[in-house]
Structures are given as C-alpha cells and as structure tokens.
Structure 1
Amino acid sequence: MTEQQPRESHPIRTGDTVRGAANRRGPFRSGERVQLTDESGKMSTITLVDGGEHHTHRGVLSHEQLIGQPEGTVVRNTAGNQYQALRPLLKDFVLSMPRGAAVIYPKDAGQIVTMADVFPGASVVEAGVGSGALSISLLRAVGDEGHVHSFERREEFAEIARGNIETMFGGPHPAWELSLGDLAEELGATEEPGSVDRVVLDMLAPWECLDAVATALAPGGVVICYVATVPQLSRVAEAMRADGRFTEPEASETMVRGWHVEGLAVRPDHRMVAHTGFLIQSRRLADGSPRLAPKRRASKSEYTEDDLQAWTPVALGERIVSDRKLRRTGRDAASLAQHAARADQQIAAGRGTASGAAAAPVDAPDAARSTPPARDTEAGDERHTSGAERGLDD
C-alpha cells in the first residue's frame, strides 16, 4: 500500500507581475471602487477617498470605516444601518461604470470569450469599443502577454472606454491598443495578413468589414459578431456565406433567468435578462479551400433596394447620445481612473517599503481628470434588462 503524502499548502500568489491582480486582493484602499449592500439587499457602488462620506436618507457612512479593512467587512452608519462591503465583481463593475454607448452585458461577454475560444496570449481585434465592457473581458482572457487591438470611430467613446479600463486594471493595460478609425479601412494597415487569432465585431454593419477581417485572420481563426436585430443577423450570415472564406455561420442568443431560493419557496424570479442581442460566429478557411455548406431547400437570399433600407441606424433603433452627456461621462470615467491609479500607487508603495526600495512616482494627473468631491450621494447599480433599449456600439 502506497503511503499518502500530506498535501503541500501554497500561499496565495501576490500576482505582482499580472496587471490588475494586486488590485483585487488585500484591504480596501483609498481610490478603490467598493460595492455596499444594505440589509434590504439594495446595492450602491462608491469610490473610497480619504475623509469621504457616503450620504443616504438613512444616515451617513464615513469612508474611513472601510479604508484599511478587509474585504467582506460589515459596518454601521450613523443611524445604525448595516452595510456589507465587497469589491465589485466584473459583472457589477460593468453595470455601474460610466458609459457613453450601451455595453455588451456580462452574459454575452462570457459567451463571446468562450465561444470564440479567446486564450491567453491570443491576438484579438475588436470593433467598436463602445464603453469598454467587452474590452475588459478580452484583456482578462488574453492576459498581459496577449494583444487586444480595439477600433472605435468616435473619440468620445474611446475616452470613456479608456477611463473604464484604467479603473478596472489600476492603470493602462500592457496588452491593449486603441485606434481611432474605421476597422474596414485601418485593419490592413495595422495588422499583418493572417496574424490575428480572433475578431469580435460589435457594430451596426459588420458585413462591411468581412473582407478586411478575412485578410487579417489566420486560418482557423474565429470571427464573432454581436448584432441587435433579426435583419442584421440575416444579412451578416448571408455575407459570410457569399464571401466564401468562412465556414458555415452559427447563430445563437443567450437568456439568463435567476431563481428565488428561500427554504421551500423555490421558484423562478419574476424578472429575467432575456434578449439583448444575437451572436453569430464563423471560422476562417485555408486559402483555396471550398466552404462545405449543409444541403438545404432553396430559399430567398437576394436583397432588394427596399430590404437594404431596413439596415439604417434610425430603422434599427439606434439611440443618439448627446455630446453633453458624452463629455460628462468621459469626465466621470477619467476621474475614476485617477482614483484607481492612486490605489495602485499605494500597492506599489507597499511593495517598495517591504523590499526596502522607494516606490516609483506616478505621473501627475491630467488637468481634465479632476478629483470628485469627498461627499457622494446614494446611487444604485444600473440593471437594464430590455434588449430594445440597448444602442448599437460603433
């Protein structure tokens, strides 16, 4: 009988060399985002600042009660109400972060990362970046050694996404590259033919980019498109088939229904996250290889001029975001990124003190990134469930 050896215990890795890992561990620090849940289950997300206070109609909570405390701490405000404090998970961060364009929701981002097989070290191209929600998931999947190249037409959206990504990772991510412009025009000038592993398109008319995508993708590479309406889904599928360099496309949608579980009272929730968008994916064939399509009965696949008029921004329900709102959201995202950089500086300073070395100074923040007032007001996380309300990121 073989003697069983005792299992060796391993300490928690510090993750000093992995971008954003240290930000997810240890006590709360000034500049961090913290999610507060009260006794009724209502959630609020705040940014900790020295001397700050969280004001609600049910009392005041000092930020000093949380700074330096471990995650999972329960504190009381001046009225005796209890709050549970935790760092926001990725899904919580996405639903509460500043946004200009609507985001790809966590249920769809998880499907994209899995279905497209986004692996550590992969080279991924994304268009458009929107508010940066999907970019964060892609960066986490490829890691520091991968490469995510995001294309965005609108500078306002790009700045909001930059602020949100820097807030999540405590500063610029080494694997992220952002380009302003149209992917169909810029991709060939920035990426070598056959050098890209995965392409994710979240835009109004992804079929316009398929030629550039087919050129950049390596054989076997995956292209996955997120579209909001049935006409878009139909047209991008036919465009993939007509191109001839892709496998037969596969389409799906994801619905998530929560359950109420309390004792013997077990039932589905009354609300659910139903349709938000469709996913359609295909893979790049080797040059010269024919597409093997399943045999099916002939159906109408030609589009008339009247059909083409259905694919316009107004007809598809794209919401117009005002310039004023974009500027305000950009300032909010930049301010949160500044606070996250301050928290990251504290982590670096702690490591430098432990090793006897001085921490590297952080560049002075840009004048546009102003520090918000120390007092914050109650604001619950956004929880949108209607796919019809979602605008198209482009």
Structure 2
Amino acid sequence: MVREAKEGDLILLLDKRGKRFLIRLTSGKRFESHYGIIPHNDLIGQPLGREVQTHLGRKFLVLEPSTLDLIQATPRITQIIYPKDAGYILLRLNLMPGKRVVEAGTGSGALTLVFARAVMPTGRVYSYEIRPEMLRLARHTLERAGVLDYVELKERDIAEGFDEKDADALFLDLRTPWEYLSQAREALKPGGFFGALVPTTNQVVNLLEGLSEHGFVDVEVEELLLRPYKVVAERLRPDDRMVAHTGYLIFARKGEGADLKAWFSFRRGRAWKYKADDEDEG
C-alpha cells in the first residue's frame, strides 16, 4: 500500500545538497524559504518518496522523517545525546514496547524522544529535569515528534528520589551520576538495566567506584566512534571527518544479595562468552 501524506503529519523535505526541513502539514499553509514556496495542499494526500518543486524550480524529496532526523532537528541549548550513542543505549537498556524507563537530565528532550519511540504504545518514560526552561523546550520537542502522550515530565531534583519503583531501566545524563546511585537502585527492579553517559575519564572512575559500592553488577564502559564514507562507487573512501568522542557510556545491572563484588565486571581482557543451553559444560 502506498503511504500518503496526511494533514497533521510531520514530513521531511530534502534538497539535493542534503539540507533538511521538517514541516507539519496543515491545510492552507505554505512551506516558504529562499528556495521558494510549496503549498502544503500540494503535499497532502500525495505519496511519500516523490519529488516536488517550489515555485522557483527548486527540487525536494518528500519523505517520512526518521528518529535520526528528529534528533538532529532538536534545538541544542544543551549538549544532546548523539544518534550514534542513542541507538546503542536502547539496546543496552533492553527497551521495547511496554517497558518503563526512568531518565534524569531531560535537557532538550532528544533522548527522551528516542526512549518514547522505543517503548510506545504501551510503555512509559518518566523524565526528570531540575530546570523549568529545559522542560519547556523538551515538551516542545516531544509534542512536535508526536510522543508526548508516552512521557511524564517531572520538575524535580532527583536527590529527593524517584517516584517510580520496579522500573525496567534507568538512565542518568548528569554531571555527577555517582551521587544518585542510591536513588537509582530504589527505582529499578531487581536485575534492572542502568545506564549513564559522562564526557571525561575522571567521571567514569567516580561512577565505577560508586557502582561497586551500591551493588551494581555486570558493569561495562564503552565508547562509540562513527566513520561515514563518501558515497561514490568509483572512489569509495572514508569521509574527511568523523564523529569521534562524544562521551563514555557506562552500563550495569541492579544486583541483589550481600556479596556482589565478584559479579562487578567480566570485561577484563576478553569479550563476552555465551554458552547455549544444550552445550556441554566439559
């Protein structure tokens, strides 16, 4: 079935230089730029993936925006989680429809948006932010993406604790996440997934010490580097620039029991080792 643009849809206009515009289709309105004008009515009811022109002859592709597009369009009043990190965070926190995830450090709402798209329609995101101006910006980000109904925004200093209990996952995007590990444990279910992002190694060290003291297990520290390539078949090679260090990712699980030190980490010079249920122990 051909996907057609409907009134109220958020769509992406992509020009031949790679410039991207996000617009909400509204009958009677127009997309206007120095490239020309495209009436919204010329897009509503028409298939996505096609080429259109402004009144000045500038060509655009009409596409459905990806989560990546929505993140890249988020106003960067504060440092946002980069897309290369956001997708991996979803995997490590085991997020899927129906899950309940707590986030502290809402910021512009970019990662909140990613979480909401992962857990909707039956899951929930609980996002805490101490700055009211950032919550207003995040609310706008989530409204534009159409995911606000799956998020609860809370203006709160998390030193007071989280309202949630037995959450499936929790992520801290804060300067000093090690100061809030007691609160994180209280909010997570046994074995729940914990994650954090910090920009410097001394912060990683402080967090590792705190995770050990607070009974977290299966701890990992990782960094992702993204290298794009020039899309020219005759001379395929890496692009001149790459997205290198954006932060250190720390992941762990909430342990239960008296002595958990032996379970702190298995990453000591070797990769994971899995054993199938039917594989012999010998």
- TM-score of the superposed pair, with normalisation by structure 1: 0.62
Give the deviation of 1:124 after TM superposition: 1.3
Contact 1:36 1:43 in 2 (8 A): yes
Contact 1:52 1:62 in 2 (8 A): yes
Alignment of 1:38-77 (within 5 A): 38-77=15-54
Contact 2:219 2:265 in 1 (8 A): no
SS of corresponding position for 1:40: coil
**Alignment correspondent of 1:122:** 99
Equivalent of 1:225 in 192, 196, 210: 196
Contact 2:220 2:265 in 1 (8 A): no
**Alignment correspondent of 2:234:** 264
Equivalent of 2:119 in 142, 147, 170: 142
**Alignment correspondent of 1:300:** none
Matched AA of 1:191: E
- Structure 2 CA distance for aligned equivalents of residues 67 and 216 of structure 1: 45
SS of corresponding position for 1:249: strand
Equivalent of 1:246 in 216, 220, 235: 216
- Cα 1:50–1:199 change in 2 (3 A) is same
How far does the alpha carbon of each residue in 1:115-137 deviate from its partner, in whole angstroms, 9 at most, with x for none?
Answer: 12123322211101111111122
* Structure 2 residue 184 is the aligned partner of structure 1 residue 213: yes
- Structure 1 CA distance for aligned equivalents of residues 184 and 35 of structure 2: 54
Matched AA of 1:285: G
Give the deviation of 1:230 after TM superposition: 1.8
Larger-gyration structure (1/2): 1
Give the deviation of 1:99 after TM superposition: 4.5
SS of corresponding position for 1:101: coil
Contact 1:256 1:274 in 2 (8 A): yes
Matched AA of 2:84: K
**Alignment correspondent of 1:165:** 142
**Alignment correspondent of 1:95:** 72
Give the deviation of 1:89 after TM superposition: 0.8
**Alignment correspondent of 1:196:** 167
**Alignment correspondent of 1:111:** 88
Give the deviation of 1:67 after TM superposition: 2.2
Give the deviation of 1:256 after TM superposition: 1.1
Contact 2:7 2:44 in 1 (8 A): yes
Q: Which has the higher strand share?
A: 2
**Alignment correspondent of 1:234:** 205
Matched AA of 2:224: T
SS of corresponding position for 1:124: strand
Q: Which sections of structure 2, spanning at least 5 residues, go unmatched?
A: 267-282
Q: Which sections of structure 1, spanning at least 5 residues, go unmatched?
A: 1-11, 13-24, 296-394
SS of corresponding position for 1:232: helix
Contact 1:250 1:281 in 2 (8 A): yes
**Alignment correspondent of 1:183:** 158
- Identity of counterpart residues, as a percentage? 36
Matched AA of 1:215: E
**Alignment correspondent of 1:286:** 256
Matched AA of 1:211: S
Matched AA of 2:186: T
Matched AA of 1:206: P
Alignment of 1:249-328 (within 5 A): 249-292=219-262, 293=264
Matched AA of 2:21: S
SS of corresponding position for 1:264: helix
- Structure 2 CA distance for aligned equivalents of residues 149 and 57 of structure 1: 40
SS of corresponding position for 2:211: helix
- Cα 1:186–1:215 change in 2 (3 A) is closer
- Structure 2 CA distance for aligned equivalents of residues 294 and 138 of structure 1: 26
- Structure 1 CA distance for aligned equivalents of residues 114 and 37 of structure 2: 35
- Structure 2 CA distance for aligned equivalents of residues 29 and 102 of structure 1: 33
Give the deviation of 1:294 after TM superposition: 6.6
Give the deviation of 1:88 after TM superposition: 1.4
Give the deviation of 1:50 after TM superposition: 3.2
Matched AA of 2:132: E
How far does the alpha carbon of each residue in 1:42-93 deviate from its partner, in whole angstroms, 9 at most, with x for none?
Answer: 3233333333333343433333322221111211122222111112111011
C-alpha RMSD of matched pairs (Å)? 2.2
